[in-house]
Structure 1
Amino acid sequence: MFRVVLAALAIIALVNGETCESPEFKVNSHSTRDARLTAESAAQLEITVKCKNGKQPGTLYADINGQVVPCAQTPAAPGKYFIGVAANTHKELASGRTKIKLYDDDSYSALRKARTEDATKAVKPFGQVELNHPGVSYGPWLPSEFFAVCTFGLVWWAAYRERSKILG
């Protein structure tokens, strides 16, 4: 009986110790585009992780410009993680592609143990994704409503002038 319990515990330990092999990442990103509507920039990444062996990482951590934050995940869809990025000004969230390093529990623990900058750089991340932020648009100097009112005014003036000629 003791051998059966010991074998069951060994199998459970092996199954729980299994890690994700050759992860593939699919990224959808959304970011602030119109600078006239808000003073701050924000972006959200939806990351889908697919592992070759089917074992999903428990928790992911994202390194965004040197700041490590945990990724949110949804229980309804295993393998989906979300990252939110916020900046106080539009210039703080750089336009273009920003590399974001992802860490699982093991690599994050190694990152936390690293004391020097060289040791931190030596820690291998779980994976890496990119945030594609095209930048914000400040729009035209004059809004389209202004042009619509001006066009309406010109059409009305031309019609009124022609009416005056006919009746006049």
Structure 2
Amino acid sequence: MAGTGIVVVSVLLAVCAFSCARADSCGKPEVTTTSYTTQDATVLTNIAYIAEISLKCSNAIKGLPLYAEVNGKILTAARTSDDNRYQVSWTEEVKKARTGNFNVNLFDEEGYTTLRKAIRNGEDVSSVKPLVSVTLNHPGAYNGPWVNSEFMAAALAVVVWYSAYTFRNKLLF
């Protein structure tokens, strides 16, 4: 009889642990976002993209683990000091970086699991519905002038020398 009580308690603890470990989902998410991208790439090798996201759920869930998908790459959304603020960031090489809008698809744990399963099975990942999608705009980065100043100085020196030499020859002959 005592063994039965231990089994019942064990089952109740397992059910309680399972229900506590169950992932909550955000109902009617409201998102505000700010973004930053590298604007000057004259001495850099990578362009940084940063999206800061504030998520508000109608069911007041805080501290929800989020994952992001950007251009086929899966990233973890880092939670900042507040429970409902997140940051997604990545870098690309300057030569491969493109301008324009980037869609940042955010997933909760359930959506992330579905996304990973679709990738693993070779299915179309666009069929997985994100919790919310935000847009990050990258207007482009300044890569420096088309012609280096050293080249311009050398070309100007050659032009001045040629002009002086030609003018000298006209005076002497």
Asked whether the two chains share a fold, i.e. TM above 0.5, the reply is yes
Any idea what the Cα deviations from partners look like across 1:87-124, whole Å, max 9, x if unmatched? 12x24222111111111100001111221233x33211
SS in 1 for 2:112: helix
Aligned to 2:61: 55
Matches within 5 A, 1:47-126: 47-56=53-62, 58-74=64-80, 76-88=81-93, 90-114=94-118, 115-118=121-124, 120-126=125-131
Any idea what the Cα deviations from partners look like across 1:54-96, whole Å, max 9, x if unmatched? 113621111111010111112x3011111111012x2422211
Identity %: 33
**Residue 138 (structure 1) shift:** 3.1
**TM-score, with length taken from structure 2:** 0.66
**Gapped runs of 5+ residues in structure 2?**
1-7, 150-173
Describe the shift of the 1:18–1:85 C-alpha distance in structure 2 as closer, same or farther (beyond 3 A): closer
Describe the shift of the 1:124–1:130 C-alpha distance in structure 2 as closer, same or farther (beyond 3 A): same
- Contact kept? 2:42, 2:143, Cα under 8 Å: yes
SS in 2 for 1:117: coil
SS in 1 for 2:114: helix
Q: Distance in 1 between matches of 2:114 and 2:28?
A: 19
Q: Distance in 1 between matches of 2:76 and 2:64?
A: 11
**Gapped runs of 5+ residues in structure 1?**
144-168
**Residue 28 (structure 1) shift:** 0.9
Larger radius of gyration: 2
Instruction: Say which of 14, 20, 26 aligns to 1:20.
Output: 26
**TM-score, with length taken from structure 1:** 0.68
How many residue pairs align between the two structures? 133
Instruction: Say which of 25, 28, 34 aligns to 2:40.
Output: 34
Say if 2:138 is the partner of 1:128.
Answer: no
Alignment RMSD: 2.7
Aligned to 1:147: none
